[in-house]
Amino acid sequence: MSGKRTYTVPILLLIATVLATLIVILLSRLLIDGQADKLDKGKRLAEGYNDCLAYAGILKDDARALSGTAAAVDRLAVKERIGQVPPVSSACGKTLSESGVQSGQTQEEAESAVSAAMQTIWSKLEPIGNHDGPLTQDELDTLQKIGDAGEKLETTLKQYEVPTGDDRFRQMEAGIDWVGPAGQTVKQLQDLASALNAK
């Protein structure tokens, strides 16, 4: 074996180095993609949570404003603002459903709990004041319940500060801090829907 060299070991080392580098690059890319997905989901949840705050504000402010109107013409601007409830509640409902999923419910159970309550509230709120003349006592009572519940919802939702930074978006995606207030909000929505159906 004097003078004859084999290239087997250097070639194997070169192949091992290239494979190790490729594995590190692929794993890094996988981790970066995972972080980007978490960030995107956290941003969607934050937007939905802001929609929940807007929903609570509409229930609180506009239900009370509607109860102070005397004629149909006075109600037009308020009814227009109340008309924002369906799109806002849809986005809010997705976020509240996600809180249910993170609390151990199935997707179907979580969505059903939220959507049923929101649909009941909308079905009671939407027709109020769609007539001439002053509001009836039943309508005023319904608006009082909705306005009070909107205030409670807003207070509950404000227990969590909606994130604005990337780290907090990822924490929101992981369910840190916001799931409790969102779960309480779902319960309050269900209580309001039950109270409105009790009439």
What's the pLDDT tens digit per position in 75-100?
A: 999 999 999 999 999 999 999 999 99
* 57: pLDDT strictly greater than 90: yes
Residues 6+ apart with CB under 8 A from 59: 85, 121, 125, 146, 147, 149, 150, 153
Give the tokens for residue 37. 């997905």
Grade residue 3 by pLDDT with cuts at 50, 70 and 90.
low
Query: Considering its fold, how many domains does the chain have in total?
Result: 1
Give the tokens for residue 158. 């404000």
User: What helix, strand, coil percent values describe the chain, rounded to 5?
Assistant: 80, 0, 20
Length of the chain: 199
Give the tokens for residue 3. 């003078």
Mean pLDDT (whole number) for 11-28: 92
In a domain, 140, yes or no: yes
181 sits in which H/E element:
helix 179-197
- d(CA 94, CA 116) in angstroms, rounded, equals 13
Rg of the chain taking only CA atoms, in angstroms = 27
- d(CA 169, CA 42) in angstroms, rounded, equals 4
In a domain, 2, yes or no: no
pTM above 0.85, yes or no: no
The packing angle between helices 107-125 and 179-197, to 10°, is 50
In a domain, 1, yes or no: no
Phi and psi at residue 142, to the nearest 5°:
-65, -45
Phi and psi at residue 68, to the nearest 5°:
-90, 5
- d(CA 57, CA 80) in angstroms, rounded, equals 14
* 4: pLDDT strictly greater than 80: no
Domain span holding position 14: 8-197
pLDDT at residue 199 in the model: 62
* 127: pLDDT strictly greater than 60: yes
pLDDT at residue 32 in the model: 83
Task: Quote the mean pLDDT of the chain.
Answer: 91
pLDDT at residue 2 in the model: 54
Mean pLDDT (whole number) for 166-173: 89
